[in-house]
């Protein structure tokens, strides 16, 4: 409700739109529809994409080709700012003992992470060549509640997600910024998430849900389960590419 107008884009219509919301039903690979959606807007929040469970072809189509179409439509329409849902899997192969910051070189733990790194690099290009300001959010486990031991460190609550996006939109000049997207978790494994620059002050802590996880049989008291920041993604077998 704090925003004058929100234009939503998705494959299916959202029911019960608020008075300040309008809907564009379209696929991301429909460049004409993307151009229409970009008209007269001040910023794009790009949250769409395929997750790490898809094969190479789907990941490329959604997280590379369509990503370019969205960014390029924004450029051609004169949109001055982009907020991009990147992922902590862009740096997931760093060992858990490393005192991580977003300034570390990327170490993707999967093809999914590779395409997220590519999205961040594309935004660096759009900043350098065209002056488009952007914030890439290396989001952790963005769910209603934490789900396992790892998410006690990586959880991003819905409320904190909204605040992080708003801070990214309202900052006077973020340049081309990469930040981690977590809540204020007691077990946070990132040394400096780089979000203070935006004025982001997370309010939630996954630790308040430890008893819920314990009751479900999740080991929340033993040694840390995964040796890399990316958790299981860094050790999953690669899917065949069809080559």
Contact 84, 133 (CB under 8 A): no
What is the distance between the alpha carbons of residues 91 and 101, in angstroms, rounded to a whole number? 9
Name the β-bridge partners of 6.
21
User: Count of H helices and E strands in the chain?
Assistant: 7, 8
What is the distance between the alpha carbons of residues 84 and 168, in angstroms, rounded to a whole number? 10
What is the distance between the alpha carbons of residues 88 and 90, in angstroms, rounded to a whole number? 5
Q: In what order do the strands lie in the sheet with 176-181?
A: 44-46, 81-87, 133-139, 176-181
Name the β-bridge partners of 81.
133
- Catalytic: which of 112, 126, 182, 200? 112
What is the distance between the alpha carbons of residues 41 and 26, in angstroms, rounded to a whole number? 17
CA-CA-CA-CA torsion sign (87, 192, 183, 74)? negative
Contact 140, 148 (CB under 8 A): no
200 is catalytic: no
Catalytic residues: 112
């Amino acid at each position: 409700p704090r925003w004058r107008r929100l234009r939503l884009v998705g494959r299916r219509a959202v029911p019960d739109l608020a008075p300040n919301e309008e809907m564009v039903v379209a696929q991301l690979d429909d460049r004409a529809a993307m151009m229409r959606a970009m008209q007269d807007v001040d910023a794009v929040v790009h949250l769409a994409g395929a997750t790490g469970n898809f094969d190479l072809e789907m990941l490329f189509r959604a997280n590379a080709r369509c990503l370019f179409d969205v960014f390029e439509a924004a450029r051609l329409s004169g949109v001055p700012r982009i907020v991009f849902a990147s992922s902590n899997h862009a740096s997931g192969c760093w060992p858990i003992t490393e005192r991580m910051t977003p300034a570390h070189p990327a170490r993707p733990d999967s093809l999914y992470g590779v395409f997220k790194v590519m999205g961040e690099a594309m935004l660096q290009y759009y900043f350098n060549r065209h002056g488009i300001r952007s914030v890439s959010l290396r989001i952790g486990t963005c769910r209603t509640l934490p789900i396992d031991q790892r998410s006690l460190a990586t959880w991003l609550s819905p409320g904190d997600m909204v605040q992080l996006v708003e801070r990214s939109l309202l900052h006077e000049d973020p340049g081309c910024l990469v930040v981690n997207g977590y809540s204020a978790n007691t077990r946070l494994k990132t040394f400096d998430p780089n979000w203070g620059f935006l004025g982001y002050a997370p309010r939630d802590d996954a630790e308040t849900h430890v008893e819920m996880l314990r009751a479900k049989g999740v080991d929340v008291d033993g040694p840390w389960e995964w040796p890399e920041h990316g958790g299981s993604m860094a050790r999953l077998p690669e899917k065949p590419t069809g080559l």
